[in-house]
């Protein structure tokens, strides 16, 4: 018996009204992602990949079609229910690190843990994750004292501190040089292979996409698999 996909999308559409024009950002998208998979969605600017990211993360509702995340149907969720989904099931990594500048790296991570209702103490497995990310010795530093690569690693730690079933990464290397990009992509690959973390990464970069198990391409709001 096949396991239920952790992400299941059927005939997904998203249409925006811009002035007098309907913009069809997503056009009948079908996608399945299995638990423990690392998948890259590749496309140029305007292809619809960021809209797909926002729908999968519960940041915006779909126009039509169905979206199941961890067996839960997003299509008919209220805003409050989508907020709980983001808190409990999905972790986010963005191109911009979005770290609070007045807090240390450690407190940037702990505040998300606290908001999620999990206290503020890191357990032994998460301390191992911090070592894997290479930031265990940098936790007391504020963002301005960290390199771009280190800030993105803190952002990754923050995204997975509450043990989300899915990590969504939107252009996670977009602000990094080639050396730091490779380091972050290798870390994502390690998180997937060592911890079984399901990852869906949005990228325009074919080289970045090569780190994933599987890649799908997006063009004009449609997936080309």
- Whether the per-residue pLDDT at 33 is higher than 90: the answer is yes
- Whether the per-residue pLDDT at 1 is higher than 50: the answer is no
Sheet holding 90-93, edge to edge: 90-93, 166-170, 198-203, 38-42, 214-219, 222-224
pLDDT of residue 2: 62
d(CA 43, CA 24): 16
- Which candidate, 64, 41, 56, 43, places its Cα nearest to that of 7? 56
Q: Can you tell me the mean pLDDT for 109-132?
A: 90
Pairing between β-strand 214-219 and β-strand 166-170 as defined by DSSP bridges:
unpaired
Structure tokens belonging to residue 79: 């805003």
Give the pTM. Answer: 0.91
- Whether the per-residue pLDDT at 222 is higher than 70: the answer is yes
- Taken as a whole, the chain contains a residue count of 225
In the three-class reduction of DSSP (H, G, I as helix; E, B as strand; rest coil), residue 213 is classed as coil
CATH no., domain 7-224 = 3.40.50.300
Work out the pLDDT band at 93, boundaries 50, 70, 90: very high
d(CA 19, CA 29): 25
Domain ranges, ordered by start, for the chain: 7-224
- Which candidate, 114, 120, 126, 180, places its Cα nearest to that of 153? 180
pLDDT of residue 137: 94
pLDDT of residue 65: 94
């Amino acid at each position: 018996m096949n396991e239920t996909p952790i992400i299941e999308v059927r005939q997904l559409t998203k249409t925006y009204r811009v002035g007098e024009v309907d913009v069809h950002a997503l056009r009948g998208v079908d996608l399945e992602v299995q638990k423990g998979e690392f998948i890259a969605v590749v496309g140029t600017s305007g292809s619809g990949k960021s809209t797909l990211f926002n729908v999968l993360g519960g940041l915006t509702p779909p126009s039509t079609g169905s979206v199941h995340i961890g067996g839960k149907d997003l299509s008919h969720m209220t805003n409050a229910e989508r907020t709980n989904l983001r808190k409990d099931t999905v972790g986010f990594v963005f191109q911009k690190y979005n770290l609070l500048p007045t807090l240390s790296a450690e407190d940037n991570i702990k505040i998300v843990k606290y908001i999620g209702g999990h206290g503020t103490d890191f357990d032994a497995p998460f301390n191992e994750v911090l070592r894997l990310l290479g930031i265990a010795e940098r936790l007391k530093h504020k963002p301005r004292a960290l390199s771009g690569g280190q800030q993105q690693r803190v952002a990754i730690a923050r995204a997975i501190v509450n043990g989300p079933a899915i990590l969504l990464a939107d252009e996670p290397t977009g602000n990094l040089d080639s050396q730091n990009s490779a380091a972050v992509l290798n870390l994502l690959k390690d998180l997937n292979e060592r911890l079984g973390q399901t990852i869906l990464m949005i990228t325009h970069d074919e080289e970045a996409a090569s780190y994933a198990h599987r890649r799908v391409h997006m063009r004009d709001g449609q997936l080309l698999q």
